[in-house]
Each structure stands twice: as C-alpha cells, then as structure tokens.
Amino acid sequence: MARPLLDTVETFTRLAGHNRVAMLLFRLGDRQAFGINVFKVREVLRRPRLERMPSMHALVSGSFDYRGSTIPVIDLAAAMGYPPLASIDSAHLIVTEFNLSVQGFLVSDVDRIVHVDGANLTAPPAALGYGARVNAVTRLDGDLLAVVDVEQVLASVSPVAAQLSDRVQQAAHVQQAGNRRVLVVDDSAVARTQLVDLFRKMDLECVIAKDGREGLEKLRALAVGPADDRVDLVVSDIEMPLMDGYALTTAIREDAQLRHMKVLLHSSLSGVFNEAMVARVGADKFIAKFQPDILATAVLDLLPA
C-alpha cells in the first residue's frame, strides 16, 4: 500500500534553518541503518513489477509507471555493495525527487523518520569503507547511522556534464569574470567537481570547503588576509553535515566582516519551501541543481562589478 510522506513533511519544516534535518531511516540487508533527507522523498511503496531493457545500467533494476510517468528504479542495495533486491518481493521502493528528476531506490525495508542534529553529522572515516556513496555519519540511540549520497549514486548511473552554452561563456568573457574567487561549499564530491569544472570554464578561481563550518572558517581567515585572496561570492549547498547552508548564510549575515558577502544557495532540493527559506536567512539567490547555464548566469549577476 502506498505511504505518502509529503503529507507529513510540514511537521519537519520548522527544523530547517536551525541546522537540523529530518531523516527517513531504511536498511539494505542487515542491521546497518541508512538515512535520506525527508525532503528528497515523495513516497514509499512496496516493490512494484519492474520492466527491464538489456541496455540499462547495471544498477538500474528496471522502470515502472509512477503516477503517469515512467521512472527508473536504482537498486540502492547493489550500489552500496549488498545483495541485489530486484527479485526480492519484500523489498521497498523509495520514490525520490531531487536534481530536478524523479527516480526510485530499492531498499530492504523502511524504518521511521527521525530528527538529526546537523552538528552531530560528520564525514565518515575512510576505515569504515563506505567510499563516496556515504557523505555523513552520526550515532542514533548508540547505533551508527550512515547518510547515503544519493546524488552520487544517481550521477554514477546518469552522469551530468558541466556544459555551458556559447552565449553564457561569451557573457562571462565580456564581464571579465577572471580573477574573481568563488567559495564552493558542498559535502558531495560529485557536486564539488561539477561546480569547479563549471567555474573554471568561466575563468573563476575556486576555494573549496566540504561543509558549512569549514566554509565559515575559511571566509573568516580570508577576511583578515590580503585583499587579493578574499572571496567575491559564496556558492553553497544546503544540506551538509556540521553546518548546513541555511546556518552558514545566517552566520555570514551576523558577522560584521562578512555580512556584505553575496550568497547563492545551490541545492538538489527544489521548490517553494527552499525559496522561502532563502529569503528568511538572507541569501541572495537559490538555484536548483544542476542547471549549468542558469547557475552561471546567476553567478555573473551576483559577482561584484
């Protein structure tokens, strides 16, 4: 039976802007708990009958008709090194929406929704062996919770190139964007690579931070250094461990040395809610991932003359 989750999402919106996040917990074959941001989840279903083509990616179990649209289903268990779930009748399907696309992820079973303090989310130690597909871990009731980087999983199935149109590249050249510095803040290695590749095409220099706390520390250090080393614009993800993009923007606006800084929030989570939060925390712009021309144009608009 379908279990709509968006009906209850409003319960968790009050957490946003306070460095807290609501996580949907699930498992992939053993006791290990995994999590995904509730705002990426549209619905949880029992595994439907899947249609498969021989040319599909190895991690794609098939496709099915979801509310009038055909969407791909990715075996998240297989992607994380667990036995595949495509033929397991008891498997569940998490239907997600992010990066302007809708797709399903097969999981063993779904547990519950919990509130997680962003300050307690940390990058996973390399010794745990998660690789790039887990971007944060924390403890929940004494047990380890791993947050899956579903953007990275999707990118491994359907890569997105940082292509710029000739029109936007010419605009960057005319505006002489070169010699400007952008602080890129994102916990996803895939997203950081996309952004750096895009900004290099615009002749922009990049400073990198893997979460909001590191980004804030770098901004404060650069603010008291040589003027040529300072950053002209912050482009930040929203959902990150330690300090999210909303909290980072709030901290920038509360810092006398930084409050003039332009901030663009760039997130896989789209919609009216994010746009309202952008205004609330004082960011200058919100762009949904990943739209190279739209993002590049917004960056050119925000760079100081």
Give the pLDDT confidence of 182-222 residue by residue, as tens digits: 999 999 888 899 999 999 999 899 999 999 999 999 999 99
203/171 Cα distance (integer angstroms): 12
Quick: pLDDT tens for 39-85: 899 999 999 999 998 899 999 999 999 999 999 999 999 999 999 99
To the nearest 10°, the Cα dihedral for 101, 273, 152, 110?
-90
| H or E stretch covering 211 | none
- Full-model pTM: 0.84
Band of pLDDT at residue 129, cut at 50, 70 and 90: confident
Decide if 145 contacts 128 (C-beta within 8 A): no
176 in the Ramachandran plot: left (φ > 0), alpha (ψ -120 to 50) or beta? left
55/80 Cα distance (integer angstroms): 21
Q: What percent of the chain has pLDDT over 70?
A: 91
Q: Please check the confidence at residue 176 and state whether its pLDDT lies above 80.
A: no
Quick: pLDDT tens for 250-275: 999 999 999 999 999 998 876 555 66
Secondary structure (3-state) at 303: coil
